[in-house]
Amino acid sequence: MRHDPIAAAAVIGTAEEAEVTGADIVAARLAAAGATHAFGIPGGEVLALIDALERAGIRFLLAKHENAAGFMAEGLWHMTGALPVLVATLGPGVANAVNAVANASQDRVPLLFITGCVDQALAESYTHQVFDHQAVLQPLVKASFRAAPGTEDLVVAKAITLARRGRPGPVHIDLPISVAEGSVPRRAPPPLPSLGPAVPADLAEACRLVARAGKPLVIAGLDLVKEDGSAALERFIARTGAPLLTTYKAKGLLPETDPRVIGGVGLSPKADAIVRPLVEAADLIVLAGYDPIEMRQGWRNPWPADKPVIDIVAEALPHGMHASTLLLEGDVDIALSRLADALPAERSAWPGGEPARVRARFREAFAPLPAWGPHAVFETLRAVAPAGTVATADSGAHRILLSQMWDCDGPLQLLQSTGLCTMGCALPLATGAALGSGRPVLCFVGDAGLEMVLGELATLRDLRLPVVIVALVDESLGLIALKQRQMGLGRVGVDFGSTDFAAVAQAMGGHGVTIADRKTLERETIAAFAREGFTLLACRIDAAQYEGAF
């Protein structure tokens, strides 16, 4: 059904003599705010809402698990900016979604999580599937509301505003059955509060620090991605001559073929060791939307306390991971643009040429290897994938190496969970991205992560989405096994049996093939991108090849 916010808003128009349900009010407000899809699993307590969503032009999509549904909503939001909506019924539906809500909090996703619940009076004596949703979710969301009769539109408007304001994040709405199904007069919705840009108050000191820096360094993170700050970042880099490091989430803010881009850092000890001398030599570090939530423990206090550091953040968040000289709170892209404007002209920096040498060492460290293995898989796929391909990566050893090898020529071309680093995210992220992007979508996942979400292959089948899934099959939790070896511990709880993923894909309505060499991978990938349905390429590798790779 085509989404039409104006038509949706008319559901709660001005004809006072007619009535609609509370669910209609909620659905119309979501549609007017830009929601195009909602994801979840129906239950009796949310049936009125799901019906209202469809009539408001918001397509409800059935997933096989609420956790996956949350990641589908995120994937769609990354591609289209549509308000992400997750719907769950009471009790187990809410509990199943907790991981996706926690991920939305740590990865800055403005997820609207709407749950059905029984009326308060009934809950006093009826306990089947009943627990306090708000108490469970409170540590994970920016706010939690319980709608009451007559407050439906107000609650949703507040939730949308909070979800998008400052650092985006999830907001929860508990919708009692009587509120969703009850009749209310039609009424025109009040406008959403303005979300004008938050401009840092005083940039004078920041301008002085930037103007006198001869070796500036920029580290960009996920808050700049959410503001689509590529243009502002490019202007600032050009004016200052600073090289760029990014977190994994911020890969592609500038094309990684750009010689000013060193690479992604944060989870690879090898990468971090290579860039450490650059961090030490810099006489000014500008943190552009950088949040250390994406970084491993090695990024605690990565520079001395007296290093000049400008920390530009969407919203101040005490974390204790590093010190800064100057904190600027507000829209990161506006701050970067104004700092760039304050400089007289583009200038050269780093007269000793250190960034170029570090970039060369970085590239050499993660160069493809000739033997078959994860390096060969990533190199082959990068060469074959069409221009503009959106890739997703699950958590595990493969993600760390992939994030070093996979070049992005634009933002949001490698989607992953970087704050929570949760397994099982890549396939549903790819599903949501394929719904909204109109671009080729490639999903990288380990065999353990894939087995967590095998049911979502049926979701791909039902939605007829041509996602190409690349499973790295090594029959182990490779990253955990690697950590066990490094700690001198026994190998326990990391090995599992073999699954015929090609057969599973065929049984679930897709195409599947097992692969163990470059030539076959290249041929099958080309065919997969031309296929209408989903394809699963099960690439058998040896987990030992990750040793020393990152």
What are the residue ranges spanned by the domains of the chain? 5-185, 204-363, 367-546
Given the DSSP bridges, would you call strands 19-21 and 183-185 parallel, antiparallel or unpaired?
Answer: antiparallel
Spatial CA neighbour of 472 closest among 495, 440, 506, 501 = 501
Question: How many residues are given for the chain?
Answer: 550
**Contact status, residue 294 vs residue 247, Cβ threshold 8 Å:** yes
Helix, strand and coil in the chain, % to nearest 5: 40, 15, 40
- Check residue 123 and give its pLDDT: 63
118, 82 in Cβ contact below 8 A?
no
- Total-model pTM: 0.93
| Whole-angstrom distance, CA of residue 527 vs CA of residue 510 | 13
Topology (CATH level 3) of domain 5-185: Rossmann fold (3.40.50)
For residues 512 and 445, is the Cβ–Cβ distance under 8 A?
no
The answer to whether the beta carbons of residues 418 and 443 sit under 8 Å apart is no
Tokens 């094309």 correspond to: 255
pLDDT at residue 470 in the model: 98
Which DSSP state fits 545? G
Fold (topology level) of 204-363: Rossmann fold (3.40.50)
Based on the number of CB atoms within 10 Å of its own CB, is 238 exposed (0-12), middle (13-18) or buried (19 or more)?
middle
Terminal C-alpha separation, the chain = 46
E strands, 441-531, are 441-446, 468-473, 511-515
- Is the Cα dihedral 160, 166, 170, 171 positive or negative? negative
Domains 5-185 and 204-363 belong to one CATH topology: yes
Structure tokens at 405: 């090898």
| 3-class secondary structure, 417 | coil
CA distance 396 to 385: 22
3-state secondary structure at position 506 = helix
| Amino acid making up residue 368 | P
Q: Give the separation between CA 53 and CA 67, rounded to whole angstroms.
A: 20
Amino acid at 273: A
Per-residue pLDDT of the chain (550 residues; tens, 9 = 90+): 334 443 444 444 444 447 899 999 999 999 999 999 999 999 999 999 999 999 999 999 999 999 999 999 999 999 999 999 999 999 999 999 999 999 999 999 999 999 999 887 666 666 777 789 999 999 999 999 999 999 999 999 999 999 999 899 999 999 999 999 999 888 777 677 666 667 776 789 999 999 999 999 999 999 999 777 899 999 999 999 999 999 999 999 999 999 999 999 999 999 999 999 999 999 999 999 999 999 998 899 999 989 999 999 988 888 889 989 999 998 999 999 999 998 877 788 999 999 999 999 999 999 999 999 999 999 999 999 999 999 999 999 999 999 999 999 999 999 999 999 999 999 999 999 999 888 999 999 999 999 999 999 999 999 999 999 999 999 999 999 999 999 999 999 999 999 999 999 999 999 999 999 999 999 999 999 999 999 999 999 999 999 999 9
CATH class for domain 367-546?
alpha beta
Chain-centre distance for alpha carbon 444: 15
Asked whether the CA dihedral 230, 256, 443, 478 is positive or negative, the reply is: negative
What was the pLDDT predicted at 501?
A: 98
